[in-house]
Every structure is written in C-alpha cells, then in structure tokens.
C-alpha cells in the first residue's frame, strides 16, 4: 500500500539532492572558470602595460589600473619587475667597433633577475609585435607563440584601440588574446599578447571528472539514505493503516453474526403478521436496513482485503460469448421491472481476468446504470478489441454526472447526486476500480449531464 508512496518520496528526495549537487558543482565550476579568466586577463594587461612602458608610449588608463592591481596582488613584483619582452631594437654600431658584439654583463644580470621574478602565470604569456598588416616585425625580442597573429583581432584593435578575445589554435587549444594598437610610434603598430589555456582546460576537465565522480558517489549514498528516510517517515502511517485495516476486517466479521440474527428474527416476526398490520411494515424496514448494512459490511471487507492485497485473484482466459449472456440473464429482470431496455449484443473475444471478479465489476456497473437511468432509457454493453487489450463499454442514457463530480466518482462513499443520495453506499465504483486494477486492467468514465454515462473497462487480451 505504502510502497508506491515510499518510491515517490525517495524520488523527491533524490531529485532535490541532484538539484543541490548540480547547483554546487555548477557554481564551483563557474567560480574556477571566473578565477582563471580574471587572472589570465589581469596578467595579459600587466604584460601589455610593461610593453607600452618599454616603448616609451603613454600607458592607457585601464592598463595602468591593471598593472597596479597586479603589483598589489604579487608581493615581489615591485622588487622584480616583469622583463620587457619588446625592447626597442638596438641601433647598429659601426663595423670597426671591436666591442660591438659584446653584451653588457649588467644587462644580462638584470634580465636574469627579471626572469626569476616571473611567476607561472606570466611565464606562459607570449608577446608579438606587429605591423599594420598584422605581420610579425623583425628586430624585436619576441617570445615563441603557439599560433600566428590573429588578423581579426589586429583589425579590431586598430579601429577601436584594443581587442580581447579567445581563439582556437590549429591544434585545438584555446588561446586568450589581448591586442592593443600603439600610437605615436612607427613600429610596432600593434602588440598582441596571449596565453594558451590548455593547462586551464586540463584542470577544468579534471574538475568536471572529479565532480561527476563525487556526484555519483553522493547520489548513490543519497538514494540509499532517502529510501531509508522515506521508510522511517512512513512507518507510523503504515502501522496506523494496518491497525485500521485489521479493525475493519475484525468489525466486519463481528457484525455479520448479529446482523444475521436481527434479520432472521425480523423475518420470522413478519411472517406471523397480517399484510395490513403496521408492525409488518416496520419489520420490513428492519429487513431492508439489515440487508443494506450487510452489503455495506461486505463491501468494506472486500475493499479492506484489496487494500492489503489479501484478496486472491485467479486470472484465466474469460470468453465474452459465455460471460455476457450470463450477465444479461442476471440483470434483465431488474431492468425490465424499471422499464429500461438492456442491450447486450453477442460479442466475441477473450480477456485475461478473474471470471468471478470481472462478473462482480460488470454487475456493479449495471446496477449503477439501472439506478440512474429513468424509465424508457437504454443500457448497452459492448466489447471491442483494441490492440493487445479488449475494451468493454457500459453505456446508459441516464441523467449523467456533473463535470465537477467526475474527478471524485471513484472515491469511497462519494455520492454527488442528491437525488440518489439515499441509494447505494457510494462504494460501488470504488470496488469496481480496485477489482479491475487488481486484475491488471484500467477503468475510465465519461459522462455529460442529460446525455448519459459511458464506463470503459480495459483488460489484457490473451494471445490467440
């Protein structure tokens, strides 16, 4: 009874957990990506600022701000400034100067100290000095680049002053590029600095793999914990339900005997009275109420057994050409007394069902139809094969059911029609639905006020 509810609760807990895990994972991935991109962009702007300084060109405001931010974030930056990667080309000395090919030792030492000051982020940055056509310029100290200059970035920088974008190299690696036009100098016309993002992409991939692995383990643990928690949450309700079912079953059994005695006593007393005796009418009322109470108890006991899955269902091939004539013979007299035409044309085919319970369902539906169909109306029972199922329709030309009552017709003790509130117990359709579902079938009801009602039963049809 409570297992489907436990499954739904577990699914709800798991869905909530998956949403939380996804949110945390996506947030972590987004934060790591934002950190990588902001750090890379700041490093590129810092290097670009150094290149403007080395060329003796005024540094743009945004680059100066980025340079200060980088210096503040790197404690050793003030002592070990970034190496000027694009110094101006040294002028050619006269060919007769013997020291023309000797390098200044102090310059080499300064460069060595500068290289030591480069951290891992700056070490990955490359610089390209370009002319207005986006071509590399000779004579400049240019670091090795993993891709040729990006022409679109150069064109955009020459028009707008700067350009920042991510491109993909020929080997599939992503590269972050920052390009600036250089004013007031002949060469270079533009500087392009960049950084390969392959190491960051590798870290991101490892992060995703780790998050997926951790998420899978967490999901398995969450599903197990959710199943246990749902069981613990439903345990009190399960116990209360079992006690209620036991009470209903015991009460039904205990009430049978006194009701049988009441009916038998009233029947014996009625037989000794004349037909016009007022006491006889009172005893007939007692008999009627006793019968109504007995039916109610039987229905309650049946529903209790269905709820607890304690009702034996023996399914077999049931031939409609045999079942429907028996139903017609049973109900025809009752329909005739109420001046209702009952039509059950010959039908062929078989269904996989419990013959006793299917017969019970059809009698419940026909009893409902007869009670709600006025004199002169028609009730028709038909059968039709639909795919691997067989549909049995019980249609009447009765008063119909209001639209607002249709969602509740299969609820226990629900009686939406005040005109018939004194008839029946409100359990007939509930019993029919429970019995059909216990046989692996389905039941549906369609109705319109003033036009009648159609009840459709669908059961599996056995293979030929």
- Kindly report, residue by residue over 431-462, the tens digit of the pLDDT: 889 889 888 899 999 998 888 999 999 999 88
Residue 103: inside a domain? no
For 86, other C-beta atoms within 10 Å of its C-beta total: 23
State the DSSP string of 374-432.
-TT-EEEEEEEEETTEEEEEEEE-S----GGGGGGTTSTT----GGGTTSS-S-HHHHH
Q: What is the share, in percent, of the chain residues with pLDDT greater than 90?
A: 30
User: What's the pLDDT score for residue 121?
Assistant: 67
Task: Select the more confidently predicted residue: 347 or 463.
Answer: 347
Q: Check whether residue 341 and residue 392 sit in a common domain.
A: yes
Residue 436: inside a domain? yes
User: What's the pLDDT score for residue 86?
Assistant: 52
User: What's the pLDDT score for residue 136?
Assistant: 87
Q: Check whether residue 248 and residue 365 sit in a common domain.
A: no
Q: Check whether residue 138 and residue 252 sit in a common domain.
A: no
Please give the residue range of the domain that contains residue 74: 3-86+110-196
pLDDT exceeds cutoff 90 at 113: no
Residue the block writes with tokens 């037909």: 275
User: What's the pLDDT score for residue 417?
Assistant: 56
User: What's the pLDDT score for residue 266?
Assistant: 82
CATH of the domain at 243: 1.10.287
Where does a domain end: 256, 286, 307? Answer: 307
Task: Select the more confidently predicted residue: 415 or 332.
Answer: 332
Q: Return the SS3 of 273.
A: coil
Residue 430: inside a domain? yes
User: What's the pLDDT score for residue 271?
Assistant: 82
What's the chain's average pLDDT?
81
Q: Check whether residue 302 and residue 323 sit in a common domain.
A: no
Q: Return the SS3 of 448.
A: strand
Q: Check whether residue 320 and residue 378 sit in a common domain.
A: yes
CATH of the domain at 180: 3.30.450.20
Query: Residue range 190-208: average pLDDT?
Result: 92
Average the pLDDT over each of 108-112, 247-251, 316-320 and give the range with the smallest value.
108-112
356 is written with which tokens?
A: 């006793």
The Cα angle at residue 319 between residues 335 and 316, in degrees rounded to 5: 120
pLDDT one-digit tens code per residue, 14-31: 899 899 999 999 999 999
User: What's the pLDDT score for residue 145?
Assistant: 80
- For 24-83, where are the E strands, in sequence order? none
Task: Report d(CA 174, CA 90) in Å as an integer.
Answer: 35
* Structural domains of the chain, count: 3
Q: Check whether residue 266 and residue 323 sit in a common domain.
A: no
Regarding beta strands 378-386 and 341-343, do their DSSP bridges make them parallel or antiparallel, or are they unpaired? parallel
User: What's the pLDDT score for residue 76?
Assistant: 52
Residue 96's pLDDT band, with cuts at 50, 70 and 90, is very low
**Whether the bond into 358 is cis, omega within 30 of 0:** no
pLDDT exceeds cutoff 50 at 340: yes
Task: Select the more confidently predicted residue: 113 or 260.
Answer: 260
Helices in 272-319 by DSSP H: which ranges? Answer: 278-307
Burial level of 21, CB count in 10 A (0-12/13-18/19+)?
middle
pLDDT exceeds cutoff 60 at 104: no
pLDDT exceeds cutoff 60 at 87: no
Are the beta carbons of 124 and 195 closer than 8 angstroms? Answer: yes
Q: Return the SS3 of 36.
A: helix
Rounded to a whole number of angstroms, the distance between the first and last alpha carbons of the chain is 34
| Residue 335 half-sphere exposure toward CB, CA atoms < 13 A | 25
pTM score of the predicted model: 0.54
Residue 8: inside a domain? yes
pLDDT one-digit tens code per residue, 243-261: 776 776 677 667 777 878 8
Residue the block writes with tokens 């920052």: 178
Question: Closest by alpha carbon to 231, among 18, 7, 16, 15?
Answer: 7
Separation in Å, CA 91 to CA 29, 94, 139: 51, 10, 10
pLDDT exceeds cutoff 90 at 298: no
């Amino acid at each position: 009874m409570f297992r489907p509810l436990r499954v739904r609760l577990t699914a709800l807990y798991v869905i909530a957990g998956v949403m939380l895990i996804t949110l945390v994972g996506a947030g972590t991935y987004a934060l790591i990506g934002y950190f990588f991109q902001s750090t890379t962009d700041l490093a590129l702007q810092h290097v670009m600022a150094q290149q403007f300084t080395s060329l003796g060109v005024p540094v743009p405001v945004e680059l100066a701000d980025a340079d200060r931010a980088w210096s503040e974030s790197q404690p050793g930056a003030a002592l070990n400034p970034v190496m000027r990667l694009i110094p101006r080309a040294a002028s050619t000395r006269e060919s007769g100067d013997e020291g023309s090919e000797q390098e200044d030792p102090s310059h080499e030492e300064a460069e060595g100290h500068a290289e030591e000051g480069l951290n891992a982020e700056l070490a990955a940055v490359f610089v390209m000095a370009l002319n207005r056509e986006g071509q590399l310029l000779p004579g400049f100290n240019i670091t090795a680049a993993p891709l040729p200059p990006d022409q679109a970035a150069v064109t955009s920088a020459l028009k707008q002053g700067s350009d920042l974008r991510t491109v993909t190299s020929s080997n599939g690696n992503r590269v972050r590029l920052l390009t600036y036009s250089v004013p007031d100098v002949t060469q270079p016309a533009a500087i392009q600095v960049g950084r390969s993002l392959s190491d960051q992409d590798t870290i991101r991939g490892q992060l995703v793999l780790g998050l997926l692995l951790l998420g899978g383990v967490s999901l398995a643990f969450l599903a197990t914990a959710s199943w246990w928690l749902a069981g613990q949450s439903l345990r009190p309700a399960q116990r209360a339900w079992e006690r209620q079912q036991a009470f209903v079953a015991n009460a039904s059994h205990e009430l049978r005997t006194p009701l049988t005695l009441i009916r038998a006593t009233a029947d014996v007393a009625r037989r000794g009275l004349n037909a016009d005796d007022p006491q006889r009418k009172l005893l007939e009322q007692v008999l009627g109420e006793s019968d109504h109470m007995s039916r109610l108890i039987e229905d309650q006991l049946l529903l209790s057994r269905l709820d607890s899955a304690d009702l034996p269902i023996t399914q077999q091939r049931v031939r409609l050409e045999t079942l429907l004539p028996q139903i017609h013979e049973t109900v025809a007299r009752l329909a005739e007394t109420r001046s209702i035409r009952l039509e059950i044309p010959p039908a062929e085919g078989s269904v996989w069902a419990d013959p006793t319970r299917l017969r019970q369902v059809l009698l419940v539906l026909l009893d409902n139809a007869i009670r709600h169909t006025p004199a002169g109306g028609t009730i028709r029972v038909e059968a039709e094969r639909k795919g691997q199922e067989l549909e049995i329709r019980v249609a009447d030309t009765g008063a119909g059911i209001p639209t607002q009552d249709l969602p509740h017709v299969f609820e226990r003790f629900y009686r939406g029609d005040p005109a018939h509130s004194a008839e029946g117990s409100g359990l007939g359709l509930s019993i029919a639905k429970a019995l059909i579902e216990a046989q692996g079938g389905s039941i549906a009801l369609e109705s319109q006020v003033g036009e009648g009602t159609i009840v459709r039963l669908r059961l599996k049809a056995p293979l030929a």
